[in-house]
Copies of this chain bind each other. A is one copy, B any other.
Amino acid sequence: MSDKRPLIFVTNDDGITAKGIRSLYDAVKSLGDVVLIAPDSPQSGTGHAITIHDPIRMTQSLAFEIEDAFSCSGTPVDCVKLGVYEVMHRKPDLLVSGINHGANTATNVLYSGTMSAAVEGSMEGIPSVGFSLCSFDQDADFSIAKEVVTNVSKHILMNGLEDGVCLNVNVPYVAIEDYKGIKVCRQAHAYWEDRFDKRLDQFNKPYYWLTGEFRDQEQAEDTDLYWIEKGFTTIVPTKFDMTAFDSLNKIKNWEL
């Protein structure tokens, strides 16, 4: 950490009015100077989407006690890009995203706007972390999650993170007496067994709602799904290099 007060970038995907981002802000505000830019509406499931074909709006928000709080019409990744290239005058020392209402364990990292903001931060060279609480309740109790945020954020400010790596932190929704601590582990291989709720509109034309159930494909130990079930907060170091190095040689042997 330099002598300067750290610059901390706060964002999320549930939108600027969510309890999760207020809890996140409260958990880091004493650690440095905060700039907050968050979507003006819920953006769950937007993944790494960016806004190319539409203009983006950004307006100051008075909901926080700081001048640098903005609500943005774009996606979480748009918020990160706007923050880095339009709002901030220097690279932040830490980017925190969340606290998401709902788990972003396993392959959900790909669908998650919360985690995509953190991944984008790491692509910009910022030590970045996404936090999620395993409860979709709008009024969930964030007290354990806030302690985790402060703890992990202090460690990142102290130790940094390796280039190209961000953290995916999920906090179980349990009573304090059932909370077990923190495990660093890998991403579980799981998938959504989707279902579509097919309905008919007022003109008798069909439309579909996405629904489904999340399935743990491996039931393996040392994954985020394994430990979160046991009452632990999970930390998965997450990288944006998606190369399947183990497959390189096999495919090089194809006679293409």
Instruction: Tell me the A residues contacting B by CB distance below 8 Å.
Output: 42, 44-53, 55-58, 77-78, 81-82, 84-86, 107, 109-111, 116, 119, 123-124, 151-152, 155, 159, 161-162, 164-165, 167, 182, 184-187, 189, 191-192, 194-196, 198-199, 205-210, 212, 235-248, 250-252, 254, 256
Whether A86 contacts B208 in the complex (CB less than 8 A), given A159-B254, A164-B244, A252-B184, comes out as yes
Among candidates B238, B243, B250, B254, residue contacting A244 with C-beta atoms closer than 8 Å: B238
Most buried by B among A50, A119, A182, A242: A242
Are B47 and A256 in contact, with the CB atoms below 8 A? no
Among candidates B78, B84, B192, B242, residue contacting A240 with C-beta atoms closer than 8 Å: B242
Are B110 and A196 in contact, with the CB atoms below 8 A? no
Excluding A48-B48, A57-B208, 11 further A-B contacts by CB distance (< 8 Å) are A56-B208, A57-B205, A86-B196, A107-B123, A119-B242, A155-B256, A162-B246, A162-B250, A167-B251, A186-B241, A237-B244
Q: Which residue of B lies closest to A112 (CB)?
A: B48
Complex Cα distance, B164 from A237, in Å, reads: 19
* Shortest distance between the CB of A58 and any CB in chain B (Å): 7
Complex Cα distance, B207 from A242, in Å, reads: 33
